[in-house]
């Protein structure tokens, strides 16, 4: 079945990575579980863990920098602002999934953010070729906006927004990269099996009732 997605790394350090785009994985840090909406970015330390799990941060220098910011009031304020941004991003994603464009207000917000926190690029030599790579090298706390703004800008300008969708069984959003573009679930392990079992039971009930 083309919709099967059983990658071993779906959960990394308590965070879900099934969306094919880190910005959507970020959106999915507030899933709605059986007990209701669950905030996974509970504090700045949780955000540090998410940065590392998502592989946006890998250098020891940045890890240490994040740790040094952790106790500051600015870190708490940053996280609050980031969570609020996540909900505005959710609105934009829901609009795009419904076939509409994000609000003008959100685009204005991204434009203002991109000017303030541009993502720089570096050239690296890979064997004989020169490749251009994004260069995220935060020096101060506000620089942490950079990867979110850049990825959100990329998402809203992606020509394949029809591949953006929400799992049929839960609130998780993902970018469908399957060949047929027919992926329906966040993950086979999480929702696919649940739905298949429910469909099987429904069929069985109907068969039992008609026999
Ligand atoms: Zn799901």
Ligand 1 centre to CA of 192 (Å) is 7
Phi-psi region of 126 (alpha: psi -120 to 50; beta: other; left: phi over 0): beta
Ligand 1 centre to CA of 186 (Å) is 4
% of the chain at pLDDT higher than 70: 91
pLDDT at residue number 189: 81
The phi, psi pair for 15, rounded to 5°, reads -115, 150
Give the whole-angstrom CA distance, residue 54 versus residue 48.
10
pLDDT at residue number 93: 97
Of residues 31 and 146, more confidence is placed in 146
pLDDT at residue number 109: 98
Rounded to the nearest angstrom, the gap between the alpha carbon of residue 108 and the centroid of all alpha carbons in its chain is: 21
pLDDT at residue number 36: 77
Of residues 26 and 1, more confidence is placed in 26
Write the pLDDT tens digit of every residue in 42-93.
999 999 999 999 999 999 999 999 999 999 999 999 999 999 999 999 999 9
Give the whole-angstrom CA distance, residue 156 versus residue 101.
8
Place of tokens 């790394």: 9
Ligand 1 centre to CA of 92 (Å) is 20
Give me the mean pLDDT over the 108-115 stretch: 98
If pLDDT is split at 50, 70 and 90, which confidence band does 169 have?
confident
Ligand 1 centre to CA of 166 (Å) is 8
Q: Among the CATH numbers 3.30.70, 1.10.3300, 2.60.40, 1.10.287, which is that of 11-108+161-210?
A: 1.10.3300
Write the pLDDT tens digit of every residue in 25-42.
999 999 876 677 889 999
Ligand 1 centre to CA of 183 (Å) is 11
pLDDT at residue number 195: 65
Place of tokens 């304020």: 77
CB contact set of 106 (below 8 Å; sequence gap of 6+): 88, 89, 91, 92, 156
Ligand 1 centre to CA of 168 (Å) is 6
Ligand 1 centre to CA of 167 (Å) is 5
Ligand 1 centre to CA of 119 (Å) is 32
If pLDDT is split at 50, 70 and 90, which confidence band does 211 have?
low
Of residues 114 and 205, more confidence is placed in 114
Ligand 1 centre to CA of 27 (Å) is 14
Give me the mean pLDDT over the 122-130 stretch: 93
H or E segment at 15?
Answer: strand 15-16
Number of other CB atoms surrounding residue 56 within 10 Å = 18
Ligand 1 centre to CA of 129 (Å) is 40
Give the whole-angstrom CA distance, residue 127 versus residue 198.
52
Q: Locate all alpha helices (DSSP H) within 11-142, ordered by sequence.
A: 22-27, 44-53, 60-69, 73-97, 104-116
Assess whether pLDDT exceeds 90 at residue 174: yes
Write the pLDDT tens digit of every residue in 6-29.
445 688 999 999 999 999 999 999
């Amino acid at each position: 079945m083309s919709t099967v997605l059983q990658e071993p790394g779906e959960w990394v350090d308590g965070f879900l990575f099934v969306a094919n785009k880190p910005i959507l994985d970020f959106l999915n840090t507030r899933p709605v579980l059986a007990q209701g909406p669950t905030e996974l970015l509970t504090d700045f330390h949780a955000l540090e863990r998410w940065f590392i799990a998502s592989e946006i941060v890998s250098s020891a220098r940045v890890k240490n920098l994040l740790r040094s910011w952790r106790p500051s009031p600015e870190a708490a304020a940053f996280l609050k602002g980031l969570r609020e941004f996540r909900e505005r991003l959710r609105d934009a994603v829901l609009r795009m999934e419904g076939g509409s464009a994000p609000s003008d207000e959100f685009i204005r917000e991204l434009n203002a953010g991109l000017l303030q926190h541009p993502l720089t690029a570096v050239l690296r030599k890979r064997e004989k070729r020169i490749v251009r790579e994004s260069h995220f090298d935060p020096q101060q706390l506000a620089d942490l906006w950079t990867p979110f703004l850049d990825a959100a800008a990329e998402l809203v300008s992606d020509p394949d927004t029809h591949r953006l969708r929400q799992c049929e069984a839960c609130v998780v959003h993902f970018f469908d990269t399957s060949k047929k573009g027919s992926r329906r679930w966040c993950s086979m392990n999480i929702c696919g099996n649940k739905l298949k079992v429910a469909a099987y039971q429904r069929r069985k009930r109907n068969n039992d009732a008609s026999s």
